[in-house]
Chains A and B, each alone.
Chain A
Amino acid sequence: MRWRAALLGLVTTAIAVVLIVLAVLCIPGLSYLAAFPHIFTGKVIGPILERLPYTLELIGVSFLVASVLAFGCVQFSIRTLKPLATFLAVVLRCVPFFWLAMVLQLVFAILGGFQAGKTSGSDRFDLVDHLRYLAGASGALTLFQLPSLIEYFNKRLAVCAKGRNNFAASILSGLAVQFAENLPDVITATIITELVFAWPGVGRLLYSGDGNLSASLPTGILLFLALLVLAVRFVTEAFARSPDEGASDG
């Protein structure tokens, strides 16, 4: 029953997503609707699939690092200074992310030897360079994801302390739900990071593709990102059990 409901939700929401994309495509004129079928040709889907691993790598690495950091931060602050983690979360939430990324990029340029004009993904780019750029870009994205994860762990630990739920059992499913909820914001931050750090992900493709108004490329990226979020939400809804659900059961 749960599967059927989730599947019905997935299909109908996907239809609504496609309709919204069609509406966006109509903004310059109804004739632009002809560009929609081109989204599914190799010219558009090819570059998107080529760049997607870079974007997913960035999101995945930063999420893992942010989760570990947030957990450590909450544990540490509970043992020493209780409001420290909350304070950190509030401050990080209020810092303009593009500014933070830009400052970090400058710091990495000075300390890590980032070279102007040399972008990750180019021919002269070896594994060491890749890891160095990944460290810089994922560092910025980690700081973006940290506040929501700190707040999540703070809430989980409070529930655990009241004995209403088993923290260890719900941590993974809870993190998955948290990840799915925040994914659109994380994608936005990833695109900004890709632009600032010259990371060759989907975001850079979107930014470079917008100027000449090749309508199918930006629309395709938009559709693809929305369907990606939808798929992640479907998987978490179908497989991961919400921690609040567990708490109420307990």
Chain B
Amino acid sequence: MAKRAGLAIMFVMLAVVLVLSYSPQIESAANAIDQANWQGYPIPPCFIDAKMCAGHVLGTDENGRDMLVRLVAAVRLSLGVPLLAAILELIFSLAFGILARREGLFAKFITMRLVDALSCFPAWPFILVVTVFASSGQRASLAPAVIAAITALLFSHPVTQEVAASRNVRDAGRVALNASSRDWVRILLLIATLDYFGFGIQPPTPSWGNMLANMQSQMTIAWWVAAFPAACLFGAALAIEVTRRRFLA
């Protein structure tokens, strides 16, 4: 009972954060440049320099945009797309797994070979090539939902195997839920990596991954530009992983 309540609280908190990140005020403020105080270099956070920070609690990025607002606005896509991918993975692997459990060698054999073949592709280069092909060589990105669907297909192999081997449909559902939640962290970090290398969500739309795009040049000048989005990624991944281990594993 306590486990279920804890899990419910976790999901309610996640829903609140996601809804907050969708608010129009946050969305418009995320790309607003502080024209009055920004002088071409990142403004430091208030705990470093209270006089210089000009009300930007976590400072600004290299373009003078508030870090805190951008971090909150980035929740929508940084957590939402991996969540969608995990849900799609759950659906795909349940469908593949149930198909593989059916009588008849053909359905089982074909399904498992297809899932086996998909699992042989390294996810990041696969999405990179699909993105480049889909955008005709331009550095554009696929729609987040398409990235989520491709990732879900590529990661569905172990879950499908577990579902196919489970004793009944109820067991299969529980196994698939656990495995999909396990992959949520993997997908979260994979999609952040895509964003970082410029193949995922495109600026100025904020995501924790693309906020780190200039971190190599900024790290020694303005460490907060490289630290806070990474801390958000790490914190979200850790929260999901710990919750899974505590409530689902």
Contacts and interface: CB of A to CB of B under 8 A. Distances in A.
Interface of A: 9, 12-13, 15-17, 19-20, 24-25, 27-28, 32, 90-91, 93-99, 102-103, 106, 184-185, 187-188, 191-192, 195, 203, 206-207, 210-213, 215, 218-219, 221-222, 225-227, 229-230, 233
| Chain B facing A: main interface SS | helix
Contacts of A95: 234, 237
Interface of B: 109, 113-114, 116-126, 128-130, 132-134, 136-137, 139, 185-186, 189-190, 192-193, 196-197, 209, 212, 215-216, 219-220, 226, 230, 233-234, 237-238, 241-242, 245
Contacts of B128: 206-207, 210, 218
Residue of B117, B120, B186, B242 most packed against chain A (CB within 10 A):
B120
Contacts of B212: 96, 98-99
B120 A13 contact: yes
A8 B132 CA distance: 34
B106 to A, nearest CB: 12
Residue of A95, A99, A206 most packed against chain B (CB within 10 A):
A99
Nearest to A12: B113
B193 A20 contact: no
Contacts of A215: 133
Nearest to B189: A96
Contacts of B119: 184
Contact of A94 (B132, B139, B185): B185
A24 B125 CA distance: 12
| Chain A facing B: main interface SS | helix
B228 to A, nearest CB: 12
Given A28-B136, A106-B219, A210-B128, A188 B113 contact: no
A152 to B, nearest CB: 15
Contact of A213 (B122, B132, B186): B132
10 A-B pairs with least C-beta separation: A16-B117, A213-B137, A94-B237, A187-B122, A188-B124, A27-B133, A226-B120, A229-B120, A94-B238, A184-B122
Given A20-B118, A96-B234, A226-B120, 20 more contacts: A25-B133, A27-B134, A28-B136, A94-B237, A95-B234, A96-B189, A96-B237, A97-B189, A98-B196, A102-B219, A106-B219, A106-B220, A184-B123, A188-B123, A188-B190, A210-B129, A210-B132, A219-B129, A226-B122, A227-B120
Contact of B125 (A15, A32, A222): A222
